[in-house]
Structure 1
Amino acid sequence: MKVSLAIATIGRTKELKRLLESLCDQSHTDFEVLIADQNPPGFLDGTLGAFESQLDIRRVCISPCGVSAARNALFALFTGEIVAFPDDDCWYAHDTLEMVVSFFQQDIAINSAVGTWTHDEFAQSISEVKEHAIHAMNLRELFVRGETYVQFHRRSATIAIGMFDPELGPGTGLPYGCGEDTDYLLRAANHGPVYRAPAIRVFHPLPNTQNYSLAPKWRAYGRGRMYVLKKHNLSIWFKLANVVYPLWRGVVEGKANWAYRWHMFKGRLKGLLDN
């Protein structure tokens, strides 16, 4: 079973190299790497050139357009039966694709699955993964655990779901700095259950919550979340809970993360009030 990996990238070489190195180490080797390159000409030549003899890589060079539009530029190139959307700064465990293929092979009715992520590949034991049973995800889980880089879909399902919303996500120039992942997952859920598959492991850095110069980005995250809630006509109570949640988290986490949570709250409140 072949897997298509659609990677949108801009401004990163070290992180992309780490991801590609992890792909070279996969126990399941039937996959293709599709890259939407939003960098200046030549920026990635050295990085990709080092892997061209080891990986099946195809690159599409486009002008900066945001992560969603960049991923959309790759949809026509998929040849795998399974599609994934790794971030350019995530990386895979040795058995990630093996576990993905095994999961989808067990039941042809499964269209979409969500794995698990951690920032430290040594922190997650097999026993920890096995504690959580495979199950159909509820609405809360779709929001809490639905990052794009842990989503895996049958290609036939992506045809039904459609492409990513180009107004959502970083790099669009619009004030909705996230939400493309949750939006895509909610749309997937409209076509059948989305299953939680904790044994599928992906690694990703923790968000930077200490650099106060990122406050506009944090507020944009908040507005993106509310855009998604409105788009999917979720209840006013669910919207209000989402607005208040960062304040509660800020109290629980303490002073270290308070600024991050405060700006997230401000973004969500602004998004709630947007017309």
Structure 2
Amino acid sequence: MPTFTLFSTTNVASGRSEHLNRMISSIAAARNEDTSLDIRLLLLLQNCPPDYDIAAFPDWIETSKVDGQISLSAARNRLLDYAIANRLVSVESIYGFPDDDCWYPENLLSLVSSAFASDQQLEFWFCRYGSSPQVQDKLQANTVVLQKVISRASSNTFFFRGRLITGLGHFDESLGVGAALNGGEDTEYAIRAYYTARKTLFSDSPLVGHRDPDPNLRPKYFPGTLRAISRHRHRSILGLTAYVRKLLVGLALVVRGRMKPFDYISAIRSA
């Protein structure tokens, strides 16, 4: 069975330890349910005081610390660099980027591992997320077009074959929480993966646990997501179509009074 390397970060000062514990507990449960699963979590602790006790973490979690706080993209890139330098991700292994407030329901990681093991062409798999994830005995997955990747791929829900890790490179550090533009970093990474992967599959079900998508956040994340899509709009007709579609979505937000016209124009200029 392929091994998993998961990259995550948490802000120790935020006091969200119950969320992090839930995520860690879900991975521990997956390891216990299927002893053939080899799962490693690389965890970057931000705003971490010198006396913070890391001994309580299980031995399959490898921690590192940052005194202050960095952006989500920068944190992931730091973890990626460490994993590549220490050869922690093999060509046939699986890697992903769970947020510290997501969790994996029973049997999901085992099913994802089986999907990659049974299809050597599969290099990018993703699903939806929700507050009440439901996992069946078998994953139902289909090939997808680019727009589905843009609409549904999330750092909480996408997994990649290890062969892609060096080819995809870093997350864009101008995008994401704590960066110049909120959001869009996972979308941009997923678009690159879609064009690079030999095969991409999507399970159209909320299989990963996370708070439900909030449509009220669309204006906040619009500039980052528009830049992510714009960066790849010339790679195919589907990319250009996705870009035009996103412009229309933003225009609709302006018409409905959910985004200021100035913010819309600024987003286009910064894309």
- Partner amino acid, structure 1, of 2:38: D
Inter-partner Cα distance in structure 2 for 1:108 and 1:190: 17
Q: Which residue in the other structure is 1:39 paired with?
A: 47
Determine if contact 1:90/1:202 at 8 Å carries over to the other structure. Answer: yes
Q: Could you say what secondary structure the match of 2:163 adopts?
A: helix
Instruction: Select which of 143, 161, 164 maps to 1:157.
Output: 164
Cα contact 2:135–2:207 (8 A) shared by 1: no
Tell me how far 1:266 sits from its aligned partner.
6.7
The alpha carbon displacement at 1:200 in A equals: 8.4
Q: Distance in 1 between matches of 2:158 and 2:103?
A: 14
| Structure 1 equivalent of residue 78 of structure 2 | 73
1:126 matches 2:133 = no
What is the aligned partner in structure 1 of residue 6 from structure 2? 5
2: distance between equivalents of 1:144 and 1:18?
A: 26
Instruction: Show the counterpart of 1:18.
Output: 22
Offset of 1:115 from its aligned partner? 2.5
Matches within 5 A, 1:235-250: 238-245=242-249
Q: Distance in 2 between matches of 1:242 and 1:30?
A: 39
**Percentage of matched positions with identical amino acids:** 24
With over 3 angstroms needed to count, the CA separation of the structure-2 counterparts of 1:209 and 1:109, relative to structure 1, is closer
1:209 and 1:191 mapped to 2: Cα distance? 30
Q: 1:220, 1:267 within 8 Å by CA — same for their partners in 2?
A: no
What is the CA distance between 1:160 and its match in structure 2?
1.2
Distance 2:254 2:263 in 1: 14
1:117 equivalent in alignment to 2:139: no
Q: Quick check: 1:60 aligned with 2:60?
A: no
Provide structure 2 residue ranges, at least 5 long, that are not aligned to the other structure: none
* Structure 1 position 229 matched with structure 2 position 195: no
Note if contact 2:176-2:183 (Cα within 8 Å) is conserved in structure 1.
Answer: yes
The offset of 1:139, in angstroms, is: 1.3
Return the TM-score normalized by structure 1: 0.79
Corresponding residue for residue 167 of structure 1: 174
Residue 182 of structure 2 corresponds to: 177
Q: CA deviation at 1:84?
A: 0.9
1:90 aligned residue (102, 107, 128): 102
CA drift at 1:247 = 6.6
Structure 1: 5+ residue stretches without partners? 211-216, 252-257
Provide the rounded CA distance (Å) in 2 between the counterparts of 1:9 and 1:107.
33
Which stretch of structure 1 is more off in the superposition, 228-237 or 140-149? Answer: 228-237
Report if the CA contact (8 A) 2:219-2:259 is conserved: yes
User: What corresponds to 1:263 in structure 2?
Assistant: 259
User: Relative to structure 2, which stretch is displaced further, 177-186 or 34-43?
Assistant: 34-43
Query: How big is the shift at 1:238?
Result: 3.6
Deviation at residue 270 of structure 1 after TM alignment: 2.6
Which of residues 135, 144, 148 in structure 1 aligns to 2:151? 144
Structure 1 pair 88–42 and aligned structure 2 pair: CA distance change class (3 A): farther
Counterpart of 2:125, as a letter, is A
Q: Deviations over 1:137-186 (max 9, x none)?
A: 211101111111111011111111112111110012x1x10111111111
TM-score, normalised to structure 2's length? 0.80
Q: What is the deviation of 1:206?
A: 2.5
Closer, same or farther: CA 269–93 of 1 in aligned 2, 3 Å: farther
Contact 1:239 1:272 in 2 (8 A): no
What is the aligned partner in structure 2 of residue 255 from structure 1?
Answer: none
Give the letter aligned to residue 271 of structure 1.
A
Conserved 8 A contact 2:10-2:43: yes
Counterpart secondary structure, 1:5: strand
